Structure 1
Amino acid sequence: MSVKVAINGYGTIGKRVADAVSCQKDMEIVGVTKTKPDFEAKLAVRRGYKLYAAIPERVEVFEKAGVPVEGTIEDLIQNADVVIDCSPGKVGAENKEKYYEKAGIKAIFQGGEKKDVAEVSFNALANYEKAVGKRYVRVVSCNTTGLTRLLYMIKQNFGIKKVRATMIRRVVDPKEDKKGLVNGIMPNPIALPSHHGPDVQTVLDVDITTVAFKVPTTIMHVHALNIELEKDAKPEDVVEVLKQEPRIMLVSSEDGFTSTAKVIEYARELRLRYDLFENVVWEDSIAIVDNELYLTQAVHQEAIVVPENIDAIRAMFELADKEESMKITNETLDIGKFQL
């Protein structure tokens, strides 16, 4: 079976998911949408994707700009089995009511939507089975994905009593030049704790409290975690466990990884758009004091959720079990191959 996939929103996440779907033998892209005929719309056409207008009333805008469209979002979903909604936060819920429910099509939403937009919030490692056969699935946000992967591995191997996590967040994605934080640090939100802990709990049963701060950088998030373990462990035990998971990459300051800038510089040598689908954990940050684990990780917000979208499709259409789906996704996207 080859699942026909539509991408509604060929932007930061959408274009990456489209390329990832194109690498899979059991699924195919039938089209992507844009709201306006900008450079990304033109690149989509150049890359061979059929382009549709995300807002039906704007078809003429595309035509006047000389950018060919095949039709509207309504036309696109008629040719698809599932739509991956990569539109801005809260717009996905509107699209569900306006288009997807009426068309009777399955849909995957991103972490910017509230959890009630879908039947289940999803992370491949933590709760793949809960998405099997579902019609609406929400892939949790980049920060939640990064936290959940790591905490799942720790919980499975050592048990967790409580998690305290601080997110140092990039303020915007690199291309978002109309907004940002020029010179300052912003509590996000000011009233603590942040939403990330409850979001993790939608996919993983764990006691977690989080706080977050926005800083004037665009390339990655950084998480500082303090995890109270149930079982005794040594730092080397944690290292061995994390090495077992391809979607977690261990790096060291001894290899020159002294900041997120160096991590991204390494990623530029590896993949298109310097995409890092893996959590990046500093091995030399791992310490245990009074059976509390401390570590630091970085999350590439533009790419980390991409493999989760692929696995969500397989779960929804019952194409493979968790282990097989993650194995295929990892192999097709070269995940877990760049550990130094």
Structure 2
Amino acid sequence: MPKILVNGYGTIGKRIVWAIKKSSDLELYGIVKTRPDYSAIIALKNNIDIYVPSTEYMRSFEEKGIKVKGTIEDALSKVDVVVDATPAKVGAKYKELYLKYGVKAIFQGGEKHNIVDVSFNSLCNYEEAFGKNYVRVVSCNTTGLLRIICSLHQNVGVRKVRALIIRRGADPKEIKRGPINSIVLDPPHLPSHHGIDVKTVLPWLDIETAAVIVPTTLMHMHYLVLELEKESTKQDILRILEETPRILLVDPDKLEIKSTSELIEIARDTGRLRNDFPELLVWSTTINVKGRELVLIQSVHQEAIVIPENIDAIRAVLKLEEDKWKSIEKTDRELGISHGWLL
């Protein structure tokens, strides 16, 4: 069974570790951490082997009684793939080490497209990542955009996209980010990087995006206007989205909700691990179709949406499954990911 090392054990890394452990065709080899914090203690209690970037890091772990298995170089000679979940731009620095040991690597959206062979989304371009050495799973917002765009494009075609990205200010555990009392243009000019990032996967698409950051930690929100190739109806769009993996339709009238905080409360009440929604959440009552123009609003849980893509990316680079739909189905079944309607 392929052995996977996860470099980085933060918001994304710890979720990828959980997903690998749930995957019947993958084996978690261990994690790489820089700090002997609470997450290292929890990992140790869960019998996860811990590696550090170099021997200089070992003493701080040992002082807290946290057993370290070795350095990252000790692990790289024994694994098939590294999933790099280090902070933005750190992964690029590690690539030389991965090259040295001839290990395939999956990077996250905080890295530049030019350090990899392919930027990746399961629905859009799984085949392009098949057998490649270095793949980048695009960011949470880009994943949300690509999931809806490719679902629609494969059914009714998409010519043009204009989107406003309303970004959360920080993840729930982060204490050094904001804003606290402001709406921040991100960036203060057009376009934002999100549309540019979409084009690393769909270079043919006419897309422009703008973004703002708001003082919330729970989710992102997207307002999209799409020009379709075929005239469609709202029922056509609902049927397509109902059948698309990793998309959940939300009926606010039925559920009597209208906010991301209520979505997270539903996650809590239904027992979702860490209150996660790896699915894209599309508000059904916002879907408005006039001929070939489609407008909708969707919510993106930034902590979870990229996790299934990482598992599919591992399978693609290792040539474990050639058919994207079979990989998606296996990932979703083993991770408990839904589609159709929320409740």
Could you tell me the TM-score, scaled by structure 1's length? 0.97
1:35, 1:55 within 8 Å by CA — same for their partners in 2? no
Alignment partners' CA distance in 2, 1:54 and 1:18: 18
1:329 aligns to 2:298 (yes or no): no
| Cα offset, 1:55, TM superposition | 4.4
**Counterpart position of 2:157:** 159
Alignment partners' CA distance in 2, 1:19 and 1:52: 17
Give the aligned residue type for 1:166: L
| Cα offset, 1:85, TM superposition | 0.3
Alignment partners' CA distance in 2, 1:64 and 1:182: 37
**Counterpart position of 1:207:** 206
Alignment partners' CA distance in 1, 2:53 and 2:256: 44
- Gap change, CA 1:240 and 1:290, over 3 Å in 2: closer
Q: 1:197-243, CA deviations, whole angstroms, 9 ceiling, x for partnerless residues? A: 11111112321100000000011000000001121111111000000
The ranges of structure 1 where at least 4 consecutive aligned residues each deviate by more than 6 angstroms after the TM superposition are none
Q: 1:102 aligns with which of 100, 108, 112?
A: 100
Give the aligned residue type for 2:294: L
Alignment partners' CA distance in 2, 1:55 and 1:278: 37
1:302 aligns to 2:300 (yes or no): no
Alignment partners' CA distance in 1, 2:272 and 2:55: 35
Q: Aligned to 1:318, what secondary structure does the other structure show? A: coil
1:227, 1:292 within 8 Å by CA — same for their partners in 2? yes
Q: Aligned to 2:188, what secondary structure does the other structure show? A: coil
2:231, 2:291 within 8 Å by CA — same for their partners in 1? no
Alignment partners' CA distance in 2, 1:70 and 1:144: 36
1:86, 1:92 within 8 Å by CA — same for their partners in 2? yes
Give the aligned residue type for 1:267: A
**Counterpart position of 1:53:** 52
| Cα offset, 1:276, TM superposition | 0.8
**Counterpart position of 2:275:** 274
1:3, 1:27 within 8 Å by CA — same for their partners in 2? yes
**Counterpart position of 2:175:** 177
The RMSD of aligned alpha carbons is 1.1
Identity of aligned residues (%): 51
Q: Aligned to 2:262, what secondary structure does the other structure show? A: helix
| Cα offset, 1:79, TM superposition | 2.0
Give the aligned residue type for 2:69: E
Structure 1 residues 4-13 or 263-272, which shifts more?
263-272
Could you tell me the TM-score, scaled by structure 2's length? 0.96
Q: 1:154-204, CA deviations, whole angstroms, 9 ceiling, x for partnerless residues? A: 111122221100000001111110221110000101121001111111112
Kindly report which structure 2 residues correspond to 1:1-340, keeping only aligned pairs within 5 A, or say none: 2-97=1-96, 99-204=97-202, 205-254=204-253, 255-268=255-268, 269-320=270-321, 321-336=323-338, 339-340=342-343
Q: Aligned to 1:137, what secondary structure does the other structure show? A: strand
Alignment partners' CA distance in 2, 1:72 and 1:182: 39
Q: Aligned to 1:210, what secondary structure does the other structure show? A: strand
**Structure 1 unmatched runs, 5+:** none
**Structure 2 unmatched runs, 5+:** none
Alignment partners' CA distance in 1, 2:256 and 2:136: 36
Say how many residue pairs are matched: 338
Q: Aligned to 2:154, what secondary structure does the other structure show? A: helix
Structure 1 residues 322-331 or 263-272, which shifts more?
263-272
